[in-house]
Amino acid sequence: MATNIMEFSPSAAPSFVKRGEVSAVTKALAGGSVGSGGKRISIKGGVFRLMSEGKEVAAIDERHLDVVVVNASPKVSRTFYAGKYEEGNTSAPACWSADGEKPDSKVESPQSTSCATCPQNISGSGDGTSRACRFSQRIAVVLANDMEGDVMQLTLPAQSIFGKEVGDDRPLQAYARYMAAAGAGADAVVTRMRFDTKAPVPKLFFKAARWLTDEEYAIITEKGQSRDAINAITMTVSQTDRAAPAPIPVAYKKTAKPVVEDSDDGTAEPAKRSEPKVGAKVPASKGNLASLVDSWDDTDD
């Protein structure tokens, strides 16, 4: 029997189909769960972990990873969790701020009208001298060996953002200032991220590895303007990486101390972890990261 229905092939999508974007209709039919997790890099446990839709795909043996930063959230955000951290708990934070200045309008019980004067921002409101409210910043990156590949989200904790440079060891802000002083942007180079092996919690340093070529820079510019990149740097409660909060103090000082950039907040990421679908550990030096990322969409949930 003749039919005018062509066999469906995902690789032969018509021009009106935008790759990587799931329509509102599809999300509604799927119960709103499609495309909510995205692809990201986690540094839980001091290991680079490739994540897709909330599941760990692989862990990387090496202590460094070469990426290109394609976009970044313009402000350092904050999140506060009430109660004691529990493994596997993915509940929403009690209070959060995308701009680090005031609570989000969706927060039901703001801890203060201003982040600067909030009792959860006082040094000592968390464990030791730390703050109960945690700093973080989202950046969008692509793998240096697959610049035309997927854009991934990386959420950096306070100690990877703030602090002074020591030699070539630079936290994110110090690295950006160094690149600016050199008359270049952080998106014009391949950036090597490596763990500080002396830190008690996961902490990254950043270093320029090489300049991009003109062709590569054109690709990165386009990637930085993509919907995936914008989504990666936009803070939503569902994307918030939960850090293990300290017990809430019974009493607070009436006046908050001035905010100091250096922070020793903890860095535990969301605790729920699935078994990897691709090899448990992947040496970055073997150049198979790009193919692994390409296979993420093919893994079963």
Side chain identity at residue 95, one-letter code: C
Q: Is the dihedral of CA 46, 49, 52, 57 positive or negative?
A: negative
Query: Distance from CA of residue 204 to its chain's centroid?
Result: 13
95: nearest Cα among 108, 76, 113: 108
Q: Decide: 189 and 224 in contact? Cβ < 8 Å.
A: no
- The DSSP call for residue 239 is G
Q: Write down the pTM of the prediction.
A: 0.69
CA 290 to chain centre: 19
Amino acid identity at 61: D
**Looking at residues 181-193, what average pLDDT do you find?**
91
pLDDT at 90: 67
When mean pLDDT is compared over 48-57, 61-70, 275-284, the highest value belongs to 61-70
| The amino acid at 298 | D
**Cβ atoms within 10 Å, residue 279:** 12
pLDDT score of 197 more than 70: yes
Sorting pLDDT into bands at 50, 70 and 90, what band is 169? very high
pLDDT at 263 over 50: no
How sure is the predictor about 204, in pLDDT bands with cuts at 50, 70 and 90?
very high
